[in-house]
A and B are shown apart, each in its own frame.
Chain A
Amino acid sequence: MNEPLLSVRGLRISYRGDTRPLHVVDGVDLELAAGDFLGIVGESGSGKTQLLLALLGLNAGARLEGSIRYRGEELLGAPEGIWRRLRGAKIGMIFQDPMTALNPYLTIGTQLTEGARRHLGLSRAAARQRALEMLDAVHITEPRRRLDQHPHELSGGMRQRIVIAMAMICEPDIILADEPTTALDVTVQAQILTLLHELRARTRVAVVLVSHDLGVIAEVADRVAVMYAGRIVEQADAPTLFSAARHPYTEGLRRSIVPLEGPLPARLPTIGGLPPNVAALPPGCAFAPRCGYAWERCDTVAPPLALVSAPGAALAGQHRTEQHRKACYYEGPLERLP
């Protein structure tokens, strides 16, 4: 196994609240090696986008604690210049909405080559050549013509391919994708996911894919982290997570997926209650108020993210990051809905 490209330890992101600081991300650990495909699932407000932005040093007005290391170099508290050399060059970002992630006034070519010229120091012609290759790599037809077009002349799926090409043009080690398929049609979604997979296989780039859609994550990620109220509540390789979830929240999410085969349930199971309010989190487990398995202990002390010991636990010799972890006191079977 490679040494980690990126390692995040005890990351906490807080914003100033009315009365006390709001911890939108609280104590997250992550590790990423070349070629990894990590999926992060969570509902709106679970802190997944904030986590991604932190990896680029782009959370405006937030207070960050903990540690973010890229190839061993500490990035938290690093000067802006260090970040700027990383952004786009070593860590690329794919944004949620391709309709707004491109500047409407600049041609595709100008926007695509911007990063390459800046970070790789390519000439205009060389950058253009590189852009053509990238457009080809993301399967855009007539790349030569596209370079001179403006974003509004392209379809949503095409724009997202452009955004991916922009993120990939400097051959970064890591690609951060923030809900890259949410704004797209289902058929286009599948194409974009396939493309991400293909690029990962070809370039060994590590991908972090954030989504609220468990189905999307299931399709492409090798490892999955489930976030709830700014914490990772369960972490495992994708097959384990989907076959043997050990956290009531994960199980609830999994059961809320509409089955593609077999009879539809009369009523789609949902997780009761409301998403957590970061400004008023309970002292214990943030999920406890919605959880059918909670007991007193859950309301007082938040459970740590610990190795799963029961069935489906880590096999001997598995890499640390592939181990199945959960933040829950409950050890029994998950049969009822939470």
Chain B
Amino acid sequence: MSGAAGKAASPTRPRAVGLWGQAWQRLGRRPAALIALGLLSLIALLALLVPLLSSFDFATPDWDALFQPPSSTHWFGTDALGRDLLVRVMWGCRISLLVGLAASLISVLIGVLWGATAGYAGGTTDSLLMRTVDVLYTVPFIPLVIVLTVLFGRSFVLVFVAIGAVSWLDIARIVRGQTLSLKNREFIEAARALGLGNATMIRRHLLPNLLGIVIIYATLTVPAVIVFEAFLSFLGLGVHAPLASLGTLVADGAHHLKSHPYLLTIPALFLTLIIVCFGYLGDGLRDALDPHEAR
């Protein structure tokens, strides 16, 4: 009997703690990951509520309040057009988080489907799918995005479609590798010896075993995507003005670095905070979701 599991189940609830329950418990023992999760939730909540509750909006200029330093009316100050920075930063967080999550979701969906098919089918299918990935890897991304922007115009959707469409390559490779090693595990053969069909096999035995690594990888993809979006926005390829992501805010702030440093530091702080938090969360999840950690 594994001691940890036995102790974890409270006497009043003799039902065994599930694997996810245990993962949750292990995550709970990692303060860094928990704090990261808490901070992210807080930022997400603020990003959602502040623009709703504030009397300012992100777009309307106020010509009487240009470059106001942080004060009791404008907590984060105002920018070159007199727009409230707090509201703009929270909008930035909204957009950055949204882009991060949506693009990651896209890349996870494509990547898992692609990689699992390649790994499970093997043979020619595998070579074909993975060589496609290799070829796509060689496509220089920045020129591609520039071309896309020129063709379709700057659009919010385009940003995360573009990012998602590229970052699935890594996930596809990881999932394929994982599927290959799973395919040769005895329990897959045992399931086959039970007479299960391919569909049942993938659904019941393959996907649950992939889930852990996919979740971990997704939490690590989100910050990468956010940075990427910030980078694109910094180059002016991201979201439309007056809408702002953290990347455009940092870019704008950089112009006034000497005279009004808060315009750069505040959005940069939020950007850093989000990225660091996702990093710690991903780290914690990696430890928590590894079934071999189960003691």
* Residues in A lying within 8 Å of B, measured CB to CB: 56, 58, 83-89, 92-93, 95-97, 100-107, 110, 114-115, 118-119, 145, 148-150, 152-155, 163, 166
A216 and B194 CA atoms in complex are apart in Å by: 26
Chain B residue nearest to A84 in the complex (CB): B195
B191 neighbours in A (Cβ, 8 Å): 103, 114
A103 engages B187 (CB within 8 Å): yes
Interface SS, A side: loop
A163 neighbours in B (Cβ, 8 Å): 190
A84 neighbours in B (Cβ, 8 Å): 195-197
A102 and B223 CA atoms in complex are apart in Å by: 35
Choose from B14, B18, B194, B205 the contact partner of A88 (Cβ within 8 Å): B194
B186 engages A95 (CB within 8 Å): yes
A145 neighbours in B (Cβ, 8 Å): 14-16
Interface membership of B258, Cβ < 8 A: no
A166 engages B16 (CB within 8 Å): no
> Given that A101-B186, A149-B16, A152-B294 are known contacts, is A106 also in contact with B193, CB under 8 Å in the complex?
no
Interface membership of B189, Cβ < 8 A: yes
Chain A residue nearest to B291 in the complex (CB): A104
A100 and B187 CA atoms in complex are apart in Å by: 6
19 contacts between A and B (CB under 8 A): A83-B195, A84-B195, A84-B196, A84-B197, A86-B195, A87-B195, A92-B193, A95-B193, A103-B204, A105-B291, A106-B204, A106-B205, A106-B208, A114-B191, A114-B204, A115-B195, A145-B16, A149-B16, A163-B190
B187 engages A152 (CB within 8 Å): no
> Given that A96-B186, A145-B16, A155-B1 are known contacts, is A105 also in contact with B208, CB under 8 Å in the complex?
yes
Interface SS, B side: helix
B16 neighbours in A (Cβ, 8 Å): 107, 145, 148-150, 153
> Given that A95-B190, A118-B194, A152-B294 are known contacts, is A100 also in contact with B185, CB under 8 Å in the complex?
yes
> Given that A118-B194, A154-B1 are known contacts, is A105 also in contact with B19, CB under 8 Å in the complex?
yes
Choose from B6, B192, B200, B204 the contact partner of A58 (Cβ within 8 Å): B192
Choose from A58, A83, A152, A154 the contact partner of B291 (Cβ within 8 Å): A152
A89 and B14 CA atoms in complex are apart in Å by: 33
A103 engages B195 (CB within 8 Å): no
Interface membership of B5, Cβ < 8 A: yes
Interface membership of B117, Cβ < 8 A: no
A144 and B185 CA atoms in complex are apart in Å by: 28
* Residues in B lying within 8 Å of A, measured CB to CB: 1-2, 5-6, 14-16, 18-19, 185-187, 189-197, 200, 204-205, 208-209, 211, 291, 294
B197 engages A153 (CB within 8 Å): no
A155 neighbours in B (Cβ, 8 Å): 1
A319 and B196 CA atoms in complex are apart in Å by: 37
B196 neighbours in A (Cβ, 8 Å): 84, 88, 114, 118
Closest 9 CB pairs of A and B: A87-B195, A88-B194, A93-B193, A88-B195, A105-B208, A100-B186, A149-B16, A115-B194, A101-B186
A119 engages B195 (CB within 8 Å): yes
Choose from A89, A150, A152, A153 the contact partner of B195 (Cβ within 8 Å): A89
A150 and B6 CA atoms in complex are apart in Å by: 12
B190 neighbours in A (Cβ, 8 Å): 93, 95, 101-102, 163, 166
Choose from A89, A96, A101 the contact partner of B187 (Cβ within 8 Å): A101
A84 and B1 CA atoms in complex are apart in Å by: 34
B205 neighbours in A (Cβ, 8 Å): 103, 106
Distance in angstroms from A82 CB to nearest chain B CB is 10
Q: Give me 19 other A-B pairs in contact (C-beta within 8 A), A106-B205, A118-B196 excluded.
A: A58-B192, A83-B195, A84-B195, A84-B196, A87-B194, A89-B195, A95-B193, A101-B187, A103-B209, A104-B209, A105-B208, A105-B291, A114-B194, A114-B196, A115-B194, A118-B195, A149-B16, A150-B16, A153-B1
A153 and B22 CA atoms in complex are apart in Å by: 12
Chain A residue nearest to B122 in the complex (CB): A60
Chain A residue nearest to B206 in the complex (CB): A103
Chain B residue nearest to A148 in the complex (CB): B16
B186 neighbours in A (Cβ, 8 Å): 95-97, 100-101
A148 and B19 CA atoms in complex are apart in Å by: 11
A104 neighbours in B (Cβ, 8 Å): 19, 187, 209, 291
Distance in angstroms from B92 CB to nearest chain A CB is 38
Distance in angstroms from A7 CB to nearest chain B CB is 21
B197 neighbours in A (Cβ, 8 Å): 84
B15 neighbours in A (Cβ, 8 Å): 145, 148
Distance in angstroms from A157 CB to nearest chain B CB is 12
